[in-house]
Every structure is written in structure tokens, then in C-alpha cells.
Amino acid sequence: MNEGEFRKLQLTGGSTMIVSLPKTWVKGNRLDKGDVVSIEELASGDLRISPMQGKDSKTRVSIDCCSLTVGLVDLLIGAYLSGTNTIEVKCDQKIPRAVRINIRDFLRDTRGMEIEDDTEKLIRIVSILNPSELRLQVSINRMYILISSLVNDAFEVLNGEDIDLLSDIQDRERQIDARRLLVERQVASALKNPSVEKKLKVDRYTAMEHANIARVLERMGDHAARLAVLVRDNSHLIQSKTTELPLLAIPTWAQALKTLVHNMYTKDVNIIHEAKTSLVALMAEIETSESDLWTGRKSAERLFCEFQISESIRRLCAYGINFAEALLNMLMHERLESV
């Protein structure tokens, strides 16, 4: 089918307007007379025609691990994010042990992928999770819970709780990363497959904003984990009080983030904007406290540690602002009207 092809509307039966479908598109989707297609009106006013039957939409990626020296995990992640159903890792010789370790790491850091076939020269990895079965909001909520738990546990340890609260930081950070990858995989599938888009109950713009929010939350998760590690490894150095900045900012940040997550679908513009405004003000206060921090008389080791904590809390606020802006963007998109 040529790009930019135009066709005339025709009148049939005295009142019905029809347009013919390109022959190459019909053949490419294995359609024939009597087959059913889906016709959907988009928010832009365009019509989208999608086949209800036809060619198998499953995809496969093959990787020759023998020709690689480094980068196998990156290729596996790239294939995963593209939405492929099957990944085959092949080798003319026996697959090296290092490759198998990389594949185990890949399976640990993703969701919905399992090994279907494992031989000396071939490992076939298949998707067992339908991308349309899990709402995007579920993963966003899970990321939020993990991030909040990391920050809150670090705060509680500084308040005197047992340091064992921070014994699984790495595992929680991996779960956050895995959820971000899952959201991006689902969004890729939604962009390529109208049926996935419809089942997820998002349009393309909203799907992309969900991917943007997932990336924002992943960066937030990086700083939440960094904060938790600083508290776990340097609790003997930290003398900042939880009733003073920057630690005082944590409850306010937590409440603002909770408000944003709970308004992802109700989208009360005033509440979202208020949460964003509070985070902007909070970040400015933290920056001021950082300036005061450098003027104090403290050991270099303690000063550096406390500044890193302050920086992580400030960045948590900054990414919260990005989250609010993404929600406002989605809200405005939903309010678009044709004129």
C-alpha cells in the first residue's frame, strides 16, 4: 500500500457511503469476502479499520549468542520491550555457562517470561502473560507502593526502628525496575495492536504517558533505594533530625505522591495542581537547607553523607513534579474537542 494513498467515497443503495480497501492490505491480513473488520472512531475524528481475523500476530526474535562478546542482556531486554512473544537464543556449539547466567538474570528482572525449551544449543523463552490482561494502573500502583515502602522504612530506621527493615533494598529496587519494563512492553504492544489498546482501555497518547510515568517512578525508585542504602550503611554518621529539613520533607512528599497516584483516573485538576505546587515549594526549601548545610561545622564524611540524603529527597520531589505534569497532560488530552 502506497503511503498517502487517496480513495473516493462512493454512494451505494441510494444513501450509504462506501470506500474500497487496498488490495495489498486485504491480502496482507488474509481477509476474504464475508470476513469481519472492526471500525472504530478515534478521538481525533479519524476512523481505524482493524482485522478481526487473519494472520497470526505472534512474533519471534532469534539471537545468535556465539557471535556476541558482550551485550546479550541488552538484546534480551530490547526484544522484551518490543513485545515479542518468543525469544530464541541459539549457538552452533554448546551454549556457554555465562550466557545461561545472563538468561537467568533476564528472567529475574522481567515479568511474564519463561523458558519453554532448553537444549545444549537452543534456549527458547516464551511470554506467558497476555499484555492486555494486566491493567497499566496495576503496575503503576505496585511501583508506588515499593517506592513509598523504601522511603518510609528509611525514615522509620532514622526514628529508631530496627535496621532489618532495610534488609531487602536490592530486591525491592529490582521489582520496581521489572514493573517499568512490563509497562513499556505493554505500551509497545498497545501501539502495534489495536485490540490490546482497546482491552487496556487507553488510547495511544495515554499509553505513552503511562510509559513516561513508569520511567519517572523508576528514577524515583533509584533515589528511594539510594536513600535507603545511605541510611542502612551510615546510620552512625547521620545526625539530622526527622523533625528538620531535609528529613522533615519525607512525610509531605509521601502525602503528595499518594494524592497523585489516587488521582490518576479521577483526575481532579485542582488536587493534582496543589500536590505539584506543594512539591515545588518543598524542593525549594530543601535547596535552601542544603546551602545552610555546607556552612555548618561538620566532619567531611558526615557532611557528604547528609548532603547525599538531602539530594535524594530533593530528587524524589522533582520526580513527583514530573509525575504531576504527566497527569495534567493526560487530563488536557481527554478534554480535547474538535472545532
Give the pLDDT mean for 316-337: 91
Give the pLDDT confidence score for residue 25 in this predicted structure.
87
Give the pLDDT confidence score for residue 54 in this predicted structure.
45
Give the pLDDT confidence score for residue 40 in this predicted structure.
80
Helix (H) or strand (E) holding 50: strand 47-51
pLDDT digits (tens, 9 = 90+) for 25-46: 888 888 888 888 888 877 667 8
pLDDT of 297 > 70? The answer is no
Question: For the chain, what is the radius of gyration of the CA atoms?
Answer: 25
pLDDT top residue among 264 and 91: 91
Q: Among 175-179, 233-237, 276-280, which stretch is predicted with the lowest mean pLDDT?
A: 233-237
> In angstroms, rounded to a whole number, what is the distance separating the alpha carbons of residues 339 and 331?
18
Give the pLDDT mean for 83-104: 95
pLDDT of 181 > 70? The answer is yes
Give the pLDDT mean for 130-154: 95
- pTM of the full predicted structure? 0.86
Give the pLDDT confidence score for residue 266 in this predicted structure.
79
Give the pLDDT mean for 178-205: 91
Q: Quick check: 141 and 210 in contact, CB under 8 A? A: no
Nearest to 220 by CA among 189, 260, 185, 188: 260
pLDDT of 291 > 90? The answer is no
Give the pLDDT mean for 172-182: 97
Confidence of residue 338 (pLDDT cuts 50, 70, 90): low
Give the pLDDT confidence score for residue 108 in this predicted structure.
95
Handedness of CA 221, 226, 229, 230 (dihedral sign): negative
Confidence of residue 107 (pLDDT cuts 50, 70, 90): very high
Give the pLDDT mean for 198-226: 94
Give the pLDDT confidence score for residue 296 in this predicted structure.
62
Nearest to 267 by CA among 137, 81, 121: 137
Q: What percent of the chain is predicted at pLDDT more than 90?
A: 65
Give the pLDDT confidence score for residue 328 in this predicted structure.
94
Identity at 168, one-letter amino acid code: D
pLDDT of 153 > 60? The answer is yes
pLDDT digits (tens, 9 = 90+) for 223-269: 999 999 999 999 888 888 899 999 999 999 999 999 999 998 777 89
Give the pLDDT confidence score for residue 1 in this predicted structure.
53
Give the pLDDT confidence score for residue 57 in this predicted structure.
65
CA distances (Å), origin 288, targets 84, 88, 292, 294, 312? 48, 54, 7, 11, 15
∠ at Cα 202 (196, 207), nearest 5°? 90
pLDDT of 121 > 70? The answer is yes
Give the pLDDT mean for 307-317: 96
Chain mean pLDDT for the chain: 90
Q: Quick check: 184 and 211 in contact, CB under 8 A? A: yes
pLDDT of 192 > 80? The answer is yes
pLDDT of 2 > 80? The answer is no
- DSSP 8-state symbol, 42: -
> In angstroms, rounded to a whole number, what is the distance separating the alpha carbons of residues 251 and 258?
11
pLDDT top residue among 191 and 153: 153
Handedness of CA 139, 193, 184, 99 (dihedral sign): positive
Q: Quick check: 246 and 289 in contact, CB under 8 A? A: yes
